[in-house]
Amino acid sequence: MTKQELVARMQEGQAWIPGKRVKLDFGDQGAVMLDGAASQVSENDGEADTTIKVGWDDWQQMAAGQLDGMTAFMTGKLKVEGDMSNAMQLQGVLAKLRS
């Protein structure tokens, strides 16, 4: 899946947390903003309530259900900056991608 395909699937699945801005930072691959305040997903970079830093390959494994988010966090593959409660809702966001 490309990043553009990811953005389209997340927009279609409304994969955001209402009222919150969560940025998925993929490092060299760029970022995806889950903007629950504007009800949209984009490739914009900017201020967010929570930033989740994860490698693109690790994200792909998480989206496919091959890597658990908590395991990724505990092993350092996923880092969270800002409001941790938003990050805890990431599993619900991933579930929307798999459905």
Tens digit of pLDDT for each residue in 30-82?
999 999 999 999 998 899 999 999 999 999 898 788 998 889 999 999 999 99
pTM, to two decimals = 0.89
Q: Which residues contact 83 (CB under 8 A, 6 or more apart)?
A: 20, 49, 50
Average pLDDT on 17-42 reads: 94
Residue 98 has pLDDT above 60, yes or no: yes
Q: Which residues contact 76 (CB under 8 A, 6 or more apart)?
A: none
Task: Report the distance separating Cα 52 and Cα 96, nearest Å.
Answer: 17
pLDDT for 89 equals 82
- Structure-token match 């947390």, residue found: 17
Q: Set out the domains of the chain in order of their start, with CATH numbers.
A: 3-98 (3.30.1050.10)
Using the CB atoms, write b or e for 17-31: b if 16+ within 10 Å.
beebbbbbbbeeeeb
User: What is the distance in angstroms between the CA of the first residue and the CA of the last residue of the chain?
Assistant: 15
pLDDT band at 96 (very low <50, low <70, confident <90, very high): low
Average pLDDT on 2-24 reads: 91
